[in-house]
Structure 1
Amino acid sequence: MSLASKRLLSALFAIACSIGAGAAHAQQPATVRLDYTHSGNTLTEQYAIERVLIEPLPWPGDLSQPFDNSNRGNNRLEVADAKTGDLLYSRDFSTVFGEWKTTEEANKLSRGFHESVRFPKPDRPVRVRILKRDERNAFSVAWSVEVDTDAQEVVRSQPPAPAKPMAIRVSGPSPQKVDLLILGDGYTRKDMAKFEADAKRLSQHLFEVSPFKERANDFNVWAMAVPTQESGITRPSTGVHHASALGTRYDIFGSERYVLTLDNRALRDIAQYAPYEFIEILVNNDTYGGGGIFGQFSTAAASNDWANYLFVHEFGHHFAGLADEYYTSPVAYQSSGARMEPWEPNATALRDPAKLKWKKHVQAGTPLPTPWPKEEYEAYSREYQKRRAALRAANRPESEMSALFREDLVHTKELFSKAQYRNAIGAFEGANYEASGYYRPAMQCIMFDRSEQFCPVCQDGISEIIDLYARPTR
């Protein structure tokens, strides 16, 4: 066995057993996963339990931080004592179903989606509740089921791991760190060296962007990929269909750049063989694309010229629930017409400027709403989007699309450089896919365009989630 292999096995054993994690983590409980189906349409939702299983590795999380108070996501998991009702564990999240139900298709038919929630194994029967946001933007119970993790029907044996995890970055025992798992899709056996290089390159870039840069020692990073027969993933709009274990593909909800997997069971059955709390899927493609669902996973095209941006931007959605701040690109979602205050930390309906959620970052004298060259930006963007659509329709080389993106970024920076509030934090109208009624904190941020940094408000949102999963190194 090579020295590298011995180090990997040693690191995996240390993480799995939580050696050195202190008395509170001397014996981590098992990891419970509840698989269920979530179906419905725009108007209705139904849930049905599929199975309860014990995953192969112990719980990777910090048992001293069982409750999520971030108030993010469209849903919340609550695990409570079945007899007393005492809350034992909670986490906020969103779902693919939640995004799909905002599409036009959801007005016409019903669909079912596979979903999972994970929690540390309790020592008693529990009631698992899935909550969702209601018309008041508050969480209310959507589904509840009693679970006895010691029952005979609980699945306790798993097949051999389909791939071996690689240690990309090990900063310490899992219970004290954020565990990020990078999965590969569309990588053949011959592509495995490329996958490892992609995972190292892109995760390293993540830790060059604040606040991940300052908190790099609070993360472990793992990587694994189940080999495919062909390089690249499915892209239906161009007639490309490739089989893969994860089933990741382009053209989700009719958006040519949107990349997700809709096979949650396959995703979880593969991911369970590595410690993880967050997942980023790298697809072995050069076509621009990615996606991110808060608390589920994010994706990025690893071979695209903008892979660094894609990795970080989409991870911002998945990790911290950050909203998209752009609004001129076409999306699959339909506007409800209502302007409810967003739960995302970097978007607001600005109903009361005095109660602006990021008010601490706003300097005295900054007007709310905050002026910016909105009309000039939108006029240019309309022409830019026409050119972008034409390139895709003609299936032009990806290099031409990348050149257009570079041109757009240069133009935006030049336009904004002359604006009075260029470097201010305020409330800039245009965010959350809407030209009016929603506001973003900064004129420019990685959640708005392909610029390289998160604004201070987004950095705060990210730091809060890091603190939830890791014990800060001081």
Structure 2
Amino acid sequence: MTHRLFRTAVGSLVLLLASIGMAVASPGATPQTMRLDYLHTGDADAQHYALDRIVIEPLPWAGNPARPIDDSNRGNNKFEVLDAATGELLYSRGFSTVFAEWRTTEEAASVSRGFQESLRFPAPASPVTVRIYERDAANAFVPVWSVDVDPDAQTIQRNTMPSTLKPVAIRDNGPSAQKVDLLILGDGYTEAERDKFIADARRLSDHLFTVSPFKERAADFNVWALMAPTPESGISRPSTGDYHPSTLGARYDIFGSERYVLALDNRALREIAQHAPNEFIEILVNNQTYGGGGIFGQFSTAAADNAFANYLFVHEFSHHFAGLADEYYTSPVAYAPSDAKVEPWEPNVTALHDPAQLKWRHHVRAETPVPTPWPKTEYEARQREFQQTRAQLRADKRPEAEMEALFREELAYTNQLFADAPYKDAVGAFEGANYAATGYYRPQMQCLMFDRSDAYCQVCSDAVAEIIDLYSRTDDE
């Protein structure tokens, strides 16, 4: 058994879970949760790793003991936990980082920065080696850092201070080991707005389970809501001079993109999140301005009060949960994709170097040409107009309702343009994806990873289902 070395939880941890109504296994059956916090620093040309601290979190491990090894091949990085004595692989997961995105920005060419990052895994009973891998120029994983961990070391932080934060069960479908635990955090909510946060969390997570395949797999999820109040409503938006204190470091204008929202205080996020079962984290920000973000295996964000909040929640969660790539390419982004069109690791985009080996070819009908024609020229011409109007609305600081109206007009135009296209519902290879007009292809003409549609394409749906299986099913199911 690959997980035989994992340390079992003690009674005090079981009592903590029982106090929030979570179904738990008998004492001695569940590992503790170990978190390795480290610093990731560097610039466009170099990077460095340094151990910050190792923490035993207050709640037992919420993961699926039957699937300790990640075989999805997702993420810019992956980490492995190996038995130090035998080299046996005990646990692995793919992930991506804010640092990897930042180092492609213009700033990274001249400035060094540091980011806090964390790895979470079942606490081992014997010494282990934790090893981080990164993709090279050919998208193959190569080792970049490792650290030895002795679970009995005196430097490991234990006995976390009790917290007054109590998670609310939005959906409780059973023991965490058999379910995907989604934790919804709030930022920019005051204590007086606690009920609003719970209502927002319930409303948006309920919408998630109207979208296939989440809809069909809703019973495989637990959903928890947790917030630490802020003294003021809303989070900072520096481009408009609007600043607010934040419990998670969430703000707009990440990397200079007015719509990009991330939480940059990883330590604060982990210190709060550790008080609820969690494998995936969605952060709701108490704002109307359109915005969000998602980092695979880390967290996602969405503006709770925007008219497109339902879409934002699902789209950004798709990045975080399943490692799906953006399929759009006409909106400006803050970071630069590589000029080298290597085959992406993301399951829903391709460089199509060999059409006969298209990675989703099992969905392509014999009569569908690859590459697949679509009204690309007309779409791009109208998109240039929309993007100019969008930029002007932001420059003029117009009310958010005007931006929301523009988005509705944009989606209506796209729906009409695609309605009579010959391959509207076909799976093929449609050029234009991954922030590039040429050289990358998406599986279907329309998908919620491409525009503000309300459904996944078939390939994205399959990719989401694979991750649900990883966290909720046994190998023999």
Q: For this structure pair, what is the TM-score category when the shorter chain's length is used for normalisation?
A: over 0.9
> Among 121, 124, 129, which residue is 1:122 paired with?
124
Determine the structure 1 residue equivalent to 2:376: 374
CA distance in 2, matches of 1:139, 1:221: 32
SS of 1:426 mapped into structure 2: coil
Match of 2:471 among 451, 469, 472: 469
Give the match's secondary structure for 2:429.
Answer: strand
Q: Which digits, 9 at most, give the CA deviation of each residue in 1:389-416, with x for residues without a partner?
A: 0000111000000000000000000001
Aligned to 2:229: 227
Deviates more, 1:240-249 or 1:344-353: 240-249
Question: Structure 1 stretch 167-176 or stretch 335-344: which is displaced more?
Answer: 335-344
**What is residue 427 of structure 1 aligned with on the other side?**
429
Distance (Å, rounded) in 2 between the aligned partners of 1:73 and 1:270: 25
Find the counterpart in structure 1 of residue 391 from structure 2. 389
- What does 1:50-129 align with in structure 2 at a 5 Å threshold? 50-129=52-131
What do residues 71-107 of structure 1 show as CA deviations (whole Å, max 9, x unaligned)?
Answer: 0100001000112111110000000001111111111
Which whole-Å CA distance do the structure 1 matches of 2:19 and 2:422 have between them?
A: 52
> 1 CA distance for matches of 2:187 and 2:22?
27
Cα offset, 1:162, TM superposition? 4.7
Please state how far the C-alpha of 1:35 moved relative to its aligned partner: 0.3
Residues 375 and 11 (structure 1), Cα distance of their counterparts in 2 relative to 1, 3 Å cut: farther
Q: Please name the residue that 2:6 is paired with.
A: none
Q: Pairwise mapping of residues 184-263 of structure 1 onto structure 2 (< 5 A)?
A: 184-263=186-265
- Separation in 1 of the partners of 2:133 and 2:33? 21
Runs of 4+ displaced beyond 6 Å: none
| TM-score normalised by the chain length of structure 2 | 0.95
- Determine if the alignment matches structure 1 residue 12 to structure 2 residue 14: no
Deviation larger for 150-159 or 193-202: 150-159
- CA distance in structure 2 between the partners assigned to 1:191 and 1:35 by the alignment: 31
TM-score normalised by the chain length of structure 1:
0.95
Q: Which amino acid aligns with 1:14?
A: M
SS of the residue corresponding to residue 425 of structure 1 reads coil
C-alpha displacement at 1:335, in angstroms?
3.3
Distance 2:136 2:17 in 1: 47
How far is 1:150 from its partner?
Answer: 1.3
Deviation at 1:149, TM superposition (A): 1.5
SS at match of 2:57: strand
2 CA distance for matches of 1:429 and 1:144? Answer: 39
2:439 pairs with one of 428, 437, 440: 437
- The one-letter amino acid paired with 1:396 is R
Kept in 2, the 8 Å contact 1:162–1:270? The answer is: no
The amino acid of 1:138's aligned partner reads A
Q: Distance in 2 between matches of 1:293 and 1:127?
A: 25
Corresponding residue for 1:3? none
Contact 1:77 / 1:131 at 8 angstroms: preserved in 2? yes
State the match for 1:417 in structure 2: 419
Q: Report the Cα offset of residue 190 of structure 1.
A: 0.9
Note the aligned Cα RMSD (angstroms).
Answer: 1.5
Task: Name the counterpart of 1:5.
Answer: none
Residues 29-87 of structure 1: CA distance to partner in whole angstroms, max 9, x if unpaired? 10000000001111111000000110000000111111000001000010001121111
Q: Percent identity?
A: 67
Query: Gaps (5+ residues) in structure 1?
Result: 1-7, 20-24
Question: How far apart are the structure 1 equivalents of 2:413 and 2:49?
Answer: 48
Q: Is the 1:18–1:174 contact (alpha carbons within 8 Å) kept by the matching residues of 2? A: no
Q: Which residue of 2 aligns with 1:280?
A: 282
Q: Please, which runs of 5 or more residues in structure 2 have no aligned partner?
A: 1-15
Cα shift readout 1:162-197 (whole Å, capped 9, x = no counterpart) = 521100000000000000000000000111010000
Q: 1:26 to 1:459 in 2, by over 3 A?
A: farther
Q: How far apart are 1:14 and its partner, in Å? A: 3.5
Q: Aligned to 1:142, which of 130, 137, 144?
A: 144
Give the C-alpha shift of residue 471 in structure 1: 2.3
What SS is found at the alignment partner of 1:14? coil
1:349-385 superposed Cα distances (whole Å, 9 cap, x missing partner): 0001111111111111100000000000000000100
* 2:4 counterpart residue number: none
The secondary structure found in structure 1 opposite 2:20 is: helix
Secondary structure of residue in 2 paired with 1:88: strand
1:189-216 deviation per Cα after TM superposition (whole angstroms, max 9, x unaligned): 1110100000000000000000000000
Instruction: Measure, in 1, the Cα distance between the counterparts of 2:396 and 2:20.
Output: 48
- Number of paired residues? 461
2:51 counterpart of 1:49: yes
Corresponding position of 1:22 = none
Q: Distance in 1 between matches of 2:28 and 2:409?
A: 54
1:404 is matched with which residue?
Answer: 406
Letter in 1 for 2:471: Y
* Amino acid of the structure 1 residue aligned with 2:186: G
- Bigger CA drift: 195-204 or 130-139? 130-139
